[in-house]
């Protein structure tokens, strides 16, 4: 913790927001939850409540014996139980006679489509499970997945789950260096990738990026390559195999491995406040219960009639929980789309909604702000009347974007669920229930039934009204079980700041009605287009360039992406800094999402007398704000110089 909550400006603007939206009567009348009974049940005995969800929503091979054992920070849920996640996502629906139901309406960016039923998906997953086994992958082995948004991404994840292997998905936009770090940290045995995928009308190469990594990842024994882009790739004899070749001879018979409740299901790396990403660990039964429950209740899901669409990438937690595991466990029909929202036109999403009759649409505030920029005429060209519920995730949504979403996408009839959660929480924690919660534009409203939440001040005192830090007061089934290989960091990061509580790293405010308003991160983690990026990680990428001696990075407000990355660098003695080359270098080290929007070359950085970089000042400079008191600075003239350079740079834009 280096600073106070950064959202102090947000408090003022949000406090004026007092429009309220009760659930439409027609929606409430048909909703899964239309009163406070679920919350009352959960409040009276949270463990019994979660146990009921686990029994009712999940199929067990062997029932669990205990609900929770809690020895802070280590939780165990549903011990004694045996189950298989892939069986819950596939076999049980086929057994129930729903094999012909569409699991995935997939659409490629160029317009090609695939319709995959639950039986199709079960066959494909079973065959690929046998492929994995034939290549020596078994229970507990780590498998890296580096794929575009194609159905094989879901197939690969579910096949791992079926045989008890642990997947670690790396977002396809990450660089080969990021892939190296993640493969090596997990000591993955296999890499599953594709030749390339489609993005903005072109093929972006993945296998060539993987090849760059593979020289530095000694644990990888085999590489499976899905053909998608058709771009030329090199295949190394004995190590690299085409997916379609392996699948050709594979048997569809692969009984699901009986897994223990607390067996590791997956690792997903996320940025923390240091340069090293954390391998967040999620296990089997608690995670599955949490995502199945939240997907069903938060989205008021009717698996027999809904067409659900989440626009996230499977490389992020949202893709894991609300494209793969939650929706498939609930047996619903969903749309999966490969590409960008503006190819071939700015109305691609609305075209998809109309053609597939999407009823539930879940996206990120940054996307909504982009749609606002493109104009309401884009959605207006399409019939969006199939929509009945909208959701957002990833960052606070500003009331203006909420209202635009409500009017122009939801036709003023769809409730909006603003869902707060994290890679670490596994599933949604704070959100309206659309049939019973009166929403306010910009507020995630209340914790879900079963979730314990409190806002606290610096001394860990509970705050009833006003701002503070968001904490979770008791364990929940989907919670992370640790950081891969680093139990101390797990305790330190989440459980030490406020004794007995999980500290999320977010600032939050409670209004007079007890509604939660998120104020952004309070640590050195930026949120760019809903993606977490650590300032330290970008700083270390910058100083790894030979022209840079020192670097400081801040996330400054940006009208579209939420935050944008601003970097300040000091040149290494005598070196010329080429700003474009440096931006490309960061993209190469981490990925294009971490590319700074602006880089300022400066002779010095504002530091406190103890030598700490004053990020707040840098953020003020980046946001063009008047600087307050700079008397704690070692050298106040640095700031004047920085401001001059920043205003010069912005007038050049
Ligand atoms: C932010 C994404 C406000 C928050 C699922 C959190 C949000 C971080 C919301 C987790 C929301 C996510 N309102 N802020 N509805 N949803 N956040 O791990 O700062 O990629 O700590 O998980 O995103 O990001 P992550």
Q: Domain-by-domain residue ranges, the chain?
A: 26-452, 537-652
322-381 tens-digit pLDDT: 999 999 999 999 999 999 999 999 999 999 999 999 999 999 999 999 999 999 999 999
Beta carbon of 396 within 6 Å of any ligand 1 atom: yes
Omega before residue 233 within 30° of 0, cis: no
422 lines ligand 1 (CB under 6 A): yes
Which ligand 1 atom minimizes the distance to the CA of 505? 21
- Diameter over CA atoms, the chain: 73
Q: 103 CB under 6 A from ligand 1?
A: no
* Cα(190) to centroid(ligand 1), Å: 30
pLDDT of the residue at 346: 97
> pTM to 2 decimals?
0.90
Give, using CA atoms, the residue closest to atom 10 of ligand 1: 422
Residue 361: partners with Cβ closer than 8 Å, 6 or more residues away = 309, 311, 353, 387, 389, 390, 391, 409
pLDDT of residue 605: 84
**Which residue's CA is the closest to the ligand 1 atom numbered 11?**
420
Confidence at residue 271, expressed as pLDDT on a 0 to 100 scale: 83
Nearest-atom number in ligand 1 for the CA of 392 is 15
Query: How many other β-carbons are positioned within 10 Å of the β-carbon of residue 485?
Result: 13
Does 283 sit in the ligand 1 pocket, CB within 6 Å?
A: no
Residue 412 sits at φ, ψ, to 5 deg, of 60, 15
Q: Which fold has domain 537-652?
A: GMP Synthetase; Chain A, domain 3 (3.30.300)
What is the CB-side half-sphere exposure of residue 182 using CA atoms within 13 A? 32
Is the C-beta atom of 317 inside 6 A of ligand 1?
A: yes
Tell me if 172 CB under 6 Å of ligand 1.
Answer: no
| 419 φ/ψ angles, rounded to the nearest 5 degrees | -105, 120
Tell me how far the alpha carbon of residue 137 lies from the centroid of ligand 1, in angstroms: 33
Architecture of domain 26-452 in this structure: 3-Layer(aba) Sandwich (3.40)
Q: How far apart are CA 217 and CA 186, in angstroms?
A: 10
Q: Determine the pLDDT at residue 507.
A: 92
Nearest CA to ligand 1 atom 3: 396
Residues of the chain with pLDDT under 70: 1-17, 609-611, 626-636, 645-653
Instruction: Establish whether residue 527 lines the binding site of ligand 1, counting it when its CB lies within 6 angstroms of any ligand atom.
Output: yes
d(CA 516, CA 446): 6
Task: Give tens-digit pLDDT for 27-59.
Answer: 999 999 999 999 999 999 999 999 999 999 999
Whole-number pLDDT of residue 635? 66
pLDDT for the residue 609 = 67
Q: How far is CA 452 from CA 72, 119, 448, 475, in A?
A: 15, 39, 8, 8
From 520, 527, 528, mutation site for ligand 1 pocket: most ligand atoms within 8 A of C-beta: 527
Residue nearest to atom 22 of ligand 1 (CA): 422
- Per-residue confidence (pLDDT) for residue 646, from 0 to 100: 67
Nearest to 103, CA basis, from 49, 29, 155, 173: 155
Neighbours of 442 (CB within 10 A): 23
């Amino acid at each position: 913790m280096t600073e106070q909550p950064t959202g102090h400006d947000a408090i003022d603007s949000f406090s004026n927001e007092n429009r309220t939206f009760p659930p439409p009567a027609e929606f409430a009348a048909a909703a899964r939850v239309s009163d406070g009974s679920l919350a009352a049940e959960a409040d009276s005995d949270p463990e019994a409540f979660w146990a009921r969800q686990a029994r009712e929503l999940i199929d067990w091979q062997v029932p669990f014996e205990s609900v929770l054992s809690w020895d802070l920070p280590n939780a165990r849920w549903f011990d004694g139980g045996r189950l298989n996640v892939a069986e819950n996502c596939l076999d049980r629906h086929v057994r129930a006679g729903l094999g012909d139901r569409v699991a995935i309406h997939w659409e490629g960016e160029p317009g090609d489509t695939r319709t995959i039923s639950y039986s199709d998906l079960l066959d494909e997953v079973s065959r690929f499970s046998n492929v994995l086994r034939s290549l020596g992958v078994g229970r507990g082995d780590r498998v890296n997945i580096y794929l575009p948004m194609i159905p094989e991404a879901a197939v690969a994840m579910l096949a791992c789950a079926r045989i008890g292997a642990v997947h670690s998905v790396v977002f396809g936009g990450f660089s080969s260096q990021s892939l190296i770090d993640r493969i090596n940290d997990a000591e993955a045995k296999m890499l599953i990738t594709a030749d390339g995928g489609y993005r903005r009308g072109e093929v972006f190469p993945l296998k060539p990026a993987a090849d760059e990594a593979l020289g530095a990842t000694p644990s990888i024994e085999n590489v499976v390559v899905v053909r998608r882009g058709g771009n030329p790739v090199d295949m190394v004899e004995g190590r690299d195999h085409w997916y379609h070749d392996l699948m050709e001879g594979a048997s569809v018979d692969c009984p699901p491995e009986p897994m223990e409740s607390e067996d590791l299901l997956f690792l997903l790396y996320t940025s923390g406040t240091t340069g090293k990403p954390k391998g967040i660990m999620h296990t089997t039964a608690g995670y599955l219960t949490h995502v199945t429950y939240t997907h069903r209740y938060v989205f008021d899901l009717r698996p027999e009639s809904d067409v659900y669409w989440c626009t996230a990438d499977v490389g992020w937690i949202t893709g894991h929980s609300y494209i793969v595991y939650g929706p498939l466990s609930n047996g619903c029909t969903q749309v999966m789309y490969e590409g960008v929202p503006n190819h071939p036109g700015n109305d691609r999403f609305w075209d998809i909604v109309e053609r597939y009759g999407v009823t539930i649409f879940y996206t990120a505030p940054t996307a909504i702000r982009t749609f606002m920029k493109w104009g309401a005429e884009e959605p207006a060209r399409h019939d969006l009347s199939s929509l009945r519920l909208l959701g957002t995730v990833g960052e606070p949504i500003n009331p203006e974007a909420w209202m635009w979403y409500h009017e122009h996408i939801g036709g003023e009839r769809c409730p909006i669920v603003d869902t707060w959660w994290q890679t670490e929480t596994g599933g949604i924690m704070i959100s309206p229930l659309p049939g019973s919660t009166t929403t306010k534009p910009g507020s995630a409203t209340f914790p879900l039934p079963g979730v314990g939440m409190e806002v606290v001040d610096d001394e860990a005192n509970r705050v009833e009204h006003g701002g503070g830090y968001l904490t979770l007061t008791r364990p929940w089934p989907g919670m992370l079980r640790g950081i891969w290989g680093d139990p101390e960091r797990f305790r330190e990061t989440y459980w030490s700041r406020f004794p007995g509580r999980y500290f999320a790293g977010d600032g939050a405010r409670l209004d007079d009605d007890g509604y939660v308003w998120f104020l952004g991160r309070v640590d050195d983690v930026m949120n760019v287009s809903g993606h977490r990026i650590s300032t330290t990680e970008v700083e270390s990428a910058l100083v790894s360039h030979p022209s840079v001696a020192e670097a400081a990075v801040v996330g400054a407000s940006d009208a579209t992406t939420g935050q944008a990355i601003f970097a300040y660098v000091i040149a290494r003695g005598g070196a010329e800094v080429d700003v474009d080359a440096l931006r490309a270098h960061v993209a190469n080290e981490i990925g294009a999402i971490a590319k700074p929007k602006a880089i300022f070359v400066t002779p010095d950085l504002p530091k406190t007398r103890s030598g700490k970089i004053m990020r707040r000042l840098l953020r003020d400079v980046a946001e063009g704000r008047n600087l307050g008191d700079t008397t704690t600075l070692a050298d106040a003239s640095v700031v004047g110089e920085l401001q001059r350079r920043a205003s010069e740079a912005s007038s050049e834009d």
